[in-house]
């Protein structure tokens, strides 16, 4: 059974902060709505006490040519959600499924391919994040270093600012900021970009200003409007996108990279074995 459906909701969420107060009211309606109805511009404008022109401006800010294209996508992918959930387990699983649907709606295959090529070309990779994003950065470091990507995670603000000085055309900087406003991560991306490094930002917020210092802005789902979103680990959306990139990167040379991965695991297991032998007095 196919569970994944394209949805306009994560697109609205990623552009939410750039909307006016009136447009945010429109956005809230489409994000929270669970009922099929007449979604014509006239009907929705009357329901929300806004003008049809406001609906058009809202749709364009979300990246659509107009309200008609927006509502076509909304109706095509609109799925009534069952609010009644049997038990805590079902509630958590449904929330994760909703997050996966959001990720599927945001994934840009061409962009994933470009980021994967950046990873293949870079001589040195830094992935930076703070707090929960820092945990995700550490996980990305462990994943990619096992297939011999020269990668380090940076989670300290001072280190981010110091490392910015040393970047050049050989570097790839991956910044993680769900809210998109962390000053230390922005500083690292901006300064690294000035020095010729390739820069990629993972965020749930789509802002036009990022293009000045980011080669790619990879959008990830926001937990903000998820049902019971507080049950989800904040780093989970980043880890999903990291796994997608990892899968694509490995797929470019599946045999070679899987061999490298197996070799690193054998090296780790061998190290544990040697340590055990020494403790037992064999060496």
Band (50; pLDDT cuts 50, 70, 90)? very high
What is the average per-residue pLDDT within 203-215?
Answer: 92
Our separate counts of H helices and E strands in the chain read: 12, 5
pLDDT score at 263: 63
Q: Are 160 and 154 within 8 A, CB to CB?
A: yes
pLDDT score at 69: 93
pLDDT digits over 54-81, tens only?
A: 999 999 999 999 999 999 989 876 654 4
**pLDDT score of 103 more than 70:** yes
Band (180; pLDDT cuts 50, 70, 90)? confident
d(CA 212, CA 146): 33
The residue written with tokens 């990879």 in the block is 218
Q: Are 241 and 112 within 8 A, CB to CB?
A: no
Q: Which two tokens stand for residue 163?
A: 């490392």
Question: Does 49 or 258 have the greater pLDDT score?
Answer: 49
**pLDDT score of 278 more than 80:** no
What is the average per-residue pLDDT within 19-36?
Answer: 93
pLDDT score at 176: 95
Neighbours of 256 (CB within 10 A): 12
What is the average per-residue pLDDT within 254-261?
Answer: 56
pLDDT score at 147: 84
Domain ranges of the chain: 9-77, 106-252
Instruction: Give the HSE-up count for residue 51: Cα atoms under 13 Å, Cβ half-sphere.
Output: 4
pLDDT digits over 107-162, tens only?
A: 999 999 999 999 999 999 999 999 889 999 999 999 898 888 999 999 999 999 99
pLDDT score at 194: 96
pLDDT score at 276: 39
What is the average per-residue pLDDT within 152-180?
Answer: 94
Q: Which two tokens stand for residue 226?
A: 């998820």
CATH number for the 106-252 domain, one of 3.40.50.10490, 3.40.50.300, 3.60.20.10, 3.50.50.60? 3.40.50.10490
- The DSSP bridge pattern shows strands 216-219 and 151-154 to be unpaired
What is the average per-residue pLDDT within 90-97?
Answer: 76
CATH topology of domain 9-77: Arc Repressor Mutant, subunit A (1.10.10)
């Amino acid at each position: 059974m196919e569970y994944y459906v394209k949805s306009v909701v994560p697109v609205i969420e990623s552009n939410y902060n750039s909307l006016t107060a009136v447009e945010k009211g429109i956005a809230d309606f489409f994000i929270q709505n669970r009922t099929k109805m007449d979604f014509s511009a006239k009907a929705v404008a009357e329901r929300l006490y806004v003008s049809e022109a406001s609906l058009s401006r809202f749709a364009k800010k979300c990246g659509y040519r107009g309200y008609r294209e927006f509502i076509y996508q909304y109706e095509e992918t609109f799925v009534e959600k069952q609010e009644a959930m049997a038990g805590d387990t079902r509630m958590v699983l449904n929330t994760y499924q909703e997050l996966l649907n959001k990720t599927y709606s945001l994934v840009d295959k061409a962009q994933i391919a470009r980021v994967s090529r950046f990873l293949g070309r870079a001589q040195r990779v830094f992935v930076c994040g703070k707090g929960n994003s820092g945990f995700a950065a550490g996980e990305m470091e462990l994943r990619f270093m096992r297939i011999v990507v020269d990668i380090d995670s940076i989670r300290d603000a001072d280190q981010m600012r110091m490392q910015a000085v040393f970047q050049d055309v050989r570097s790839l900087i991956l910044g993680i900021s769900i809210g998109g406003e962390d000053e230390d991560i922005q500083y690292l991306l901006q300064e690294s970009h000035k020095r010729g490094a390739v820069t990629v930002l993972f965020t749930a917020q789509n802002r036009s200003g990022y293009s000045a210092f980011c080669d790619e802005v990879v959008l990830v789902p926001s937990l903000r409007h998820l049902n019971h979103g507080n049950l989800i680990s904040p780093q989970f959306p980043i880890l999903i996108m990291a796994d997608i990139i990892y899968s694509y990167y490995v797929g470019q040379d599946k045999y070679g990279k899987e061999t490298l991965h197996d070799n690193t695991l054998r090296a780790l297991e061998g190290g544990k074995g040697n340590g055990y032998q020494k403790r037992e007095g064999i060496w």
